[in-house]
Amino acid sequence: MKKLAFETLAIRTQTAQTTQKEHATPLFLTSSFTFDSAEEGAALFAKEIEGNLYSRFSNPNVDEFCTKISLLEGAESTVATASGMGAIFVCLSALLKSGDHVIASKALFGNSLYILREILPKWGIQTTFVHLNDLEGWERSFQANTKLVLVETPSNPTLDIIDLAWLSELSHKKGAKLVVDNCFATPYLQQPIKWGADIVIHSATKWIDGQGRVLGGTISGNTQDISACYDFLRRTGVSLSPFNAWVLSKSLETLHVRMDRHCENALKVAQYLEGNPNIERVIYPHLESYSNYELAKKQLQKGGGIVTAIIRGNQKKDGAKFLNQLGLFSLTANLGDTRSIATHPASTTASKLSEEQKHELGISGGLIRLSIGLENIEDIIQDLDQALNKL
């Protein structure tokens, strides 16, 4: 029989029906679960039998969400965390020990950089940062104690990408594991494990929820690594709430339909911006002008929902002015929503970086990041057009 496809797995993977014969999965809002006897309780604690004990450890809603993510990412196992940052923190804490070394992309989510720069060194774990496009830099940075390599591809906000097949081969040759934060692509557009990555992390808060409602995160990989993450997370309490898991599992049922439209709208926006005289440069992985177009076509099913552009003149005041002229777009610190969102990274998400760091990462004053929503495409473009005309 043919293996079930992505869409079917996202929709039909479900917690066992209860005696109520419900169609949709109910919400299991319970902190703990009961035992039929003292002996059963003892057996559960001794791990002689499987079952739910306490919702910090496991819960049917969380398990359903994790099973879906494993199937969609092609992973053996998944654990879920309270947020995307929880996933990154648990993964690094569970898989590293004092004396280990990490190689990480310079273009990581700001709080991921904070963990690597400020928290892990306190525990004797050092990181070397490399620009995503500096392939020789990746090769050069391995040490005898390098255990993990961490990247986001596409990166935020300049949408740089790296060849995952190449990087996983290099990492494995050097005895390290490759961890990919797959937040921008989602499993629908890119499955890092297929290219050899060992661990995939998500901030489910973004496209997976896709409607700006709840926080959540996941870590997927082989049984051994994920079991180490699980042991750390169930004891330290970074667990995903059953309510958020219930929301996120339902969201996965529509991920493919939403991402198709996000990508379709984003490509149209990218094409429109390329033709606008007030725009100096557009970055979108599935535009032919994209610097790494061949790889983007190979590694990403579609171009994604984020479009990055640089306003002509590349001045910080123009980035701010443009944002203030927008009517439909929301100004908010999120991405991956049904509602289009505009961000000026230089003054917000990247404002903690030094001028030198911003320069190195290409986060210039005139750079704007657009998370393209599901509104009517003509309305989206009209809003951008009237704002650009006022510059």
Residue numbers of the site for ligand PLP (CB under 6 A)?
A: 83-85, 109, 152, 156, 181, 183, 203, 205-206, 215, 217
| CB 184, min distance to ligand PLP, A | 6
In the complex, least distance from residue 54 CB atom to ligand PLP, rounded to whole angstroms: 24
Compute CA 286 distance to the chain's CA centroid, rounded to the nearest angstrom: 19
d(CA 80, CA 82): 7
CB-wise, 142 or 195, nearer to ligand PLP? Answer: 195
Distance CA 61, CA 25 (A): 8
Contact present, 326 and 383 (Cβ < 8 Å):
yes
Closest CA to 121 of 142, 96, 152, 148: 96
Q: Which of 85, 133, 83, 126 is nearest to 105 (CA)?
A: 133
Q: How far apart are CA 136 and CA 148, in angstroms?
A: 17
Q: Which two tokens stand for residue 68?
A: 């879906």
CB 112 to ligand PLP: min, Å? 6
Find the shortest distance in angstroms from Cβ 238 to ligand PLP.
Answer: 11
- Minimum distance, C-beta of residue 260 to ligand PLP, in the bound complex (Å): 21
Asked whether the beta carbons of 320 and 294 are under 8 A apart, the reply is: no
Give me the least distance between CB of 205 and ligand PLP, in Å please: 4
| Residue closer to ligand PLP (CB basis): 107 or 263 | 107
Q: Which helix (H) or strand (E) holds 370?
A: strand 367-371
Q: Say which residue the tokens 């060849």 belong to.
A: 163
Taking the least distance from each CB to ligand PLP, the nearer of 133 and 203 is 203
Decide whether 248 or 388 has the Cβ nearer to ligand PLP: 248
> C-alpha 250: how far from its chain's center?
18
Q: Could you say which DSSP state residue 330 is in?
A: B
Nearer to ligand PLP by Cβ, of 159 and 296: the residue is 159
Instruction: Give whichever of 129 and 142 is closer to ligand PLP, judged by the CB atom.
Output: 129
* DSSP-based three-state secondary structure for 298: helix
Chain position whose Cβ is nearest to ligand PLP: 84
Cβ-based neighbour number of residue 283 at 10 Å: 23
Query: Least distance (Å) from ligand PLP to the CB of residue 169?
Result: 24
Dihedral sign for Cα atoms in the order 12, 18, 23, 24: negative
- Comparison of 152 and 160: residue with beta carbon closer to ligand PLP: 152
Residue 153, Cα to own-chain centre: how many angstroms?
Answer: 9
Q: Compute the least distance from the CB of residue 243 to ligand PLP, in Å.
A: 15
Q: From the CB of 193, what's the least distance to ligand PLP, in Å?
A: 18
In angstroms, give the least distance from the CB of 32 to ligand PLP. 26
Nearer to ligand PLP, 146 or 205 (CB): 205
Instruction: Write out the two tokens for 70.
Output: 């494993």
Q: How far is CA 17 from the centre of its chain?
A: 31
- 83 or 168, CB closer to ligand PLP? 83
Give 8-30 as a DSSP string. Answer: HHHHH--PPP-TT--SSPPP---
- Sheet strands (E) in 35-118: 77-81, 101-105
**Short-list 86, 92, 83, 145, CA closest to 122:** 92
**Nearer of residues 109 and 188 to ligand PLP, judged by Cβ:** 109
47: left (phi over 0), alpha (psi -120 to 50) or beta: left
